[in-house]
């Protein structure tokens, strides 16, 4: 099975999620460091749709830039995340079984 993780190596939850993926037999892991290779607004919209999340639920609210998006539309949030990927809550993991936000990291087991 292929698993793609949108990963930030400086984030402990992202590192823990990656460890779960790497320790799972028969999982081929693709790591995308999303701060270096940000996903487009369209990619984010598709990921959140597969995860059953809204863009607002995927917004890293602790970031200063998120405060200005409090009353923003989904499209505005997605555009802001694509322009400034630090606003993306991490890690996101996608497999053929779906998408999960690795918070807590064990949630990714649902799609393995």
**Active site positions, annotated:** 11
For 19-25, which contacts have Cβ atoms below 8 Å and span 24 or more sequence positions? 19/105, 20/102, 20/105, 20/106, 20/108, 20/109, 21/93, 21/108, 21/112, 24/112
- Sequence-separated (6 or more) residues with CB below 8 Å from residue 86: 35, 60, 63, 65
Q: Report d(CA 35, CA 97) in Å as an integer.
A: 25
């Amino acid at each position: 099975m292929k698993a793609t993780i949108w990963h930030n190596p400086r984030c402990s939850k992202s590192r823990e999620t990656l460890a779960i993926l790497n320790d799972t037999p028969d999982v081929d892991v693709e790591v995308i460091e999303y701060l270096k290779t940000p996903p487009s607004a369209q990619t984010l919209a598709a990921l959140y749709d597969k995860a059953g999340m809204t863009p607002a639920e995927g917004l890293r609210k602790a970031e200063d830039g998120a405060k200005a998006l409090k009353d923003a539309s989904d499209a505005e949030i997605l555009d802001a995340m694509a322009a400034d990927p630090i606003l993306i809550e991490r890690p996101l993991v996608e497999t053929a079984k779906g998408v999960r936000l690795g918070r807590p990291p064990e949630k990714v087991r649902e799609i393995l």
